[in-house]
Amino acid sequence: MEPFRSLTGVAAALPMANLDTDQIMPKQYLRGVDRHTGLAEGFLHDLRFAAPGVPRTDFVLNRAPWTQAKILVTGPNYGCGSSREHAVWGMRQLGMGCVLGSSFGGIFADNCARNGVPAITLPLPEVERLMALAGDPLRCEMTVDLERQLIVTPGDGRTLHFAFDALKKDMLLKGLDAVGLTLQYAPEIRAFEQAHLRTQPWLA
Amino acid sequence: MTPRTLYRRIVDAHTVRALGDAGQVLLYVDRQVLNEYTSPQAFAALHAAGRTVWRPAATIAVVDHVNPTTPERNAKTMVIADAERSLQVRMLAENCARHGIALYDMLDARQGIEHIVASEQGLVLPGMVMAAGDSHTTTHGAMGALGFGIGSSEIEHLLATQTLVYTVQQSMNVDVRGRLGFGVTAKDLVLELIRRIGADGATGHVIEYTGEAIRALGVEGRLTLCNMSVEAAARGAIVAPDDTLFQYLHGRARVPQGVLWEQAVAGWRQLRSDEGAMFERSVSLDASAIAPMVTWGTSPDQGATIEAAVPDPAQEGDATKRRSALRALEYMGLQPGQELDGLPISHAFIGSCTNSRIDDLRDAARVLRGRRVANGVRALVVPGSTQVRAQAEAEGIAQVFREAGFEWRQAGCSMCVAMNDDHLGPGDRCASSTNRNFEGRQGPGARTHLMSPAMVAAAAVTGALTDVRRLLPSDIAIPAQAGIREP
């Protein structure tokens, strides 16, 4: 996993509530067996395109400066629905590396953490402030500094401290391989498993 | 010791070690089910790192999302023309063979939707932790277990270590007083709960369902309830085990027999929240006040009783919800104030991991007996598993569906997620026993109204959304297992 320390760039606002992973990555893009390629086009496909290859010119990600967006400011419960990790892979492939919102689909947020993408939960008034800034082409640039847990918005001269899970932060900052870390505990897992199955043999 | 909820007791019993002090644990997982579209990337990563599968016997694999559901099932019909989808199925078979994982492929008599198959086979037992690369893994809470969905990276982690790095959630109690009324099912109950608390109402929580109405539900009704709890953002949904569940489990393929069964049941009887356990949130519902539900929008919380009219977004105080409602009505082609009862449909679909078990088919068949699907409506029934299909054929239910003019198809996810050839076209309006009414879910531009299987049957025969209670024989007065019990 690539480390994430800090990201500066254009933020785009997606204010819709409950934007589900079926919309973030529609079914026609779920045919692959590869997580690395081919999913950028599928990201928010029906919102971005009126027909295959025909962009909706009024959609935020198709308008300057948001064609360069690196950060998404999202409405409540963004990424709800299906567990498809393709929703995160596609976003990364299109060049976006951070999402900010008042709440996220739980599996989606976990998937983000496993792909070097901080999904940062903020109080609703702060999301509304960032949403307003992201909607303004002259003030939409911001910095997300994970190490110091700060969102810096030159557009209004503010700096916001955010809460973030310590374990996920460490994984993201160092770009750690979660499987490798857990396998350090392999003897402990094996011992737990043996006791678990010995005391409750019907679980085997 | 501080009294604990059943959820916390299950988590504690599966904690290998605490990880840091921010509430994460290394959680041992008893069972996993793999499917063909979220597992290939996990195996690819596993192989790239030169790792192997920790405990192959803890996992089964099922082909369910992309397989055809043609009425006939044989080596000729179970062929996937699409090269990419075909590759997904082939890779699942190769990965399972390589690691010694049991696979129920397209021609296996046990094949079906992963969550239907798991409970049918007795794969998930009370007190277990179950994870799978599908959000509807919450289903298995009906077994008195903790089930939750994970992404492909977590599947890889689970395959390699039999554990997950798990964030302990908060506990939420949903207590349902009284009994469900005539013609009202577990589906109506869960749609009412989601309407009440919202599509993000249980974010960060695992629900424990309690109360008289829950105890009165059969296991299949509880499976429906726990399945759709994820549509309120719950990270799990549990019903404490009881005799109803033990009866359901006894004798199933993967359930212990003999002395081991007796030991297991004695252990399972202890699985409940401790007296005085604190829930971070509590919600209470009166089952007797719930009527048959339908959704009018594009989020599962945009629902109403069949007696209601389409709400007016202008009356919605919250700006975000107002915008969502306006967009939903435009997509759904509906006007504020329009009656839901009588809204014409073009399609009726009974299927999905939410509502395609035998009780669901029995409920629908009761409405269909002696009736015909309305002109201009295409009606499909896709049993949740090959075993459910066989049982329905043995009971004569299949014949009821066929005579009514339903297509009687093979098992799979089918038109719930539309990843195979079963999908709707733009503007099609479908009465559907599924779980998600998202834009485009059943096909680009398709309009989905979620409801119970009996309500789908009522819509199919009248050609419009209909209160099923008008079509049920008046001597059926007792609410049921999944739904409507014979007197």
pLDDT tens per residue, range B225-264: 999 999 999 999 999 999 999 999 999 999 999 999 999 9
Minimum-distance CB partner of B162 among A106, A189, A203:
A189
Nearest-angstrom CA–CA distance, B73 and B412: 12
Contacts of A167 in chain B (CB under 8 A): 19-20, 22, 24, 165
- Put simply, the answer to whether A110 touches B151 (Cβ < 8 Å) is yes
Q: Which residues of B touch A131 (CB under 8 A)?
A: none
Q: Does A114 map to a domain?
A: yes
A98: β partners: A71
Q: Residue A204's pLDDT band (boundaries 50, 70, 90)? A: confident
pLDDT at B481: 46
- Domain with residue A33: its CATH number is 3.20.19.10
Cβ distance of B88 and A33 shorter than 8 Å = yes
Q: B483, B451 in Cβ contact below 8 A?
A: no
**Distance of alpha carbon A49 from alpha carbon A46, whole angstroms:** 5
Helix (H, G, I), strand (E, B) or coil at A15: coil
- Using the predicted structure, report yes or no on whether residue A142 has a pLDDT greater than 80: yes
Tokens of B487: 């007197």
Domain-embedded: residue A13: yes
Q: How many domains does chain A have?
A: 1
Sign of CA dihedral B336, B339, B342, B348: positive
The list of chain B residues with pLDDT below 70 reads 474-487
List CB contacts (< 8 A) between B204 and chain A. 106
Residues in B 347-406 with any Cβ partner in A closer than 8 A: none
Question: How far does B419 lie from chain A, in Å, by closest CA?
Answer: 6
Say if A126 falls within a structural domain: yes
Average predicted confidence (pLDDT) for chain B? 95
CB A23 within 8 A of CB A47: yes
CA–chain centroid gap for B425, Å, is: 24
Which residues of chain B does A165 touch, with a Cβ-Cβ cutoff of 8 Å? Answer: 22, 24, 167
Chain A contact present for B199, CB below 8 A: yes
Q: How does pLDDT run across B194-231, given as a tens digit for each residue?
A: 999 999 999 999 999 999 999 999 999 999 999 999 99
> ipTM strictly over 0.90?
yes
Q: What is the pLDDT of residue B54?
A: 98
Q: Which domains does chain B have, with CATH numbers?
A: 15-167 (3.30.499.10), 170-252+272-289 (3.40.1060.10), 294-485 (3.30.499.10)
The residues, any chain, with a CB within 8 Å of residue B167's CB and separated by 6 or more, are A165, B23, B24
Rounded Cα gap, residues B235 and B219, in angstroms: 20
Interface-testing mutation among B31, B135, B205, with chain A (most A C-beta atoms within 10 A):
B135
Between CA A79 and CA B200 the distance in angstroms is 11
Look at residue A153 and tell me if it is in a domain.
yes
Q: What mean pLDDT do residues A6-19 have?
A: 98
In this complex, the residue of B199, B235, B439 whose CB is nearest that of residue A23 is B439
Residue A187 lies in a domain: no
Chain A contact present for B82, CB below 8 A: yes
Long-range contacts of B80-87 (CB under 8 A, 24+ apart): B80/B420, B82/A31, B84/A31, B84/A32, B84/A33, B85/A31, B85/B419, B85/B420, B87/A33
Residues A122-145: what's their mean pLDDT? 98
Which residues, 6 or more positions from B237, have their beta carbon under 8 angstroms from its beta carbon? B138, B141, B206, B207, B208, B209, B225, B226, B229, B230
Binary contact (A80, B200; C-beta < 8 A): yes
Contact call for B161 and A34, based on CB within 8 A: no
Determine the Cα–Cα distance for residues B432 and B417; give it in Å rounded to an integer.
Answer: 12
At residue B479, φ and ψ (nearest 5 deg) are -70, 165
Q: Which domain holds residue A147?
A: 6-176
pLDDT score recorded for residue B473: 76
Determine contact, residues B275/B1, Cβ cutoff 8 Å: no
Measure the CA–CA gap between B272 and B144, rounded to whole angstroms. Answer: 9
Strand bridging mode B429-432 / B347-350 = parallel
> Which of A19, A20, A29, A83 to mutate to probe the B interface, most B CBs <10 Å?
A83
Q: Is residue A197 part of a domain?
A: no
Which residues on B lie below 8 Å from A33 (Cβ)?
Answer: 40-41, 44, 84, 87-88, 91
Contact at CB, B324 and A16, closer than 8 angstroms: yes
SS3 A136: coil
pLDDT, one tens digit per residue, over A80-132 is: 999 999 999 999 999 999 999 999 999 999 999 999 999 999 999 999 999 99
Residue A198 covered by a domain: no
A102 occurs within a structural domain: yes
Could B127 and A200 be called an inter-chain contact, meaning their C-beta atoms sit closer than 8 Å?
yes
Full-model pTM: 0.96
| Burial group, residue B225, by CB count within 10 angstroms (0-12, 13-18, 19+) | buried
User: Do B480 and B359 touch, CB atoms closer than 8 A?
Assistant: yes
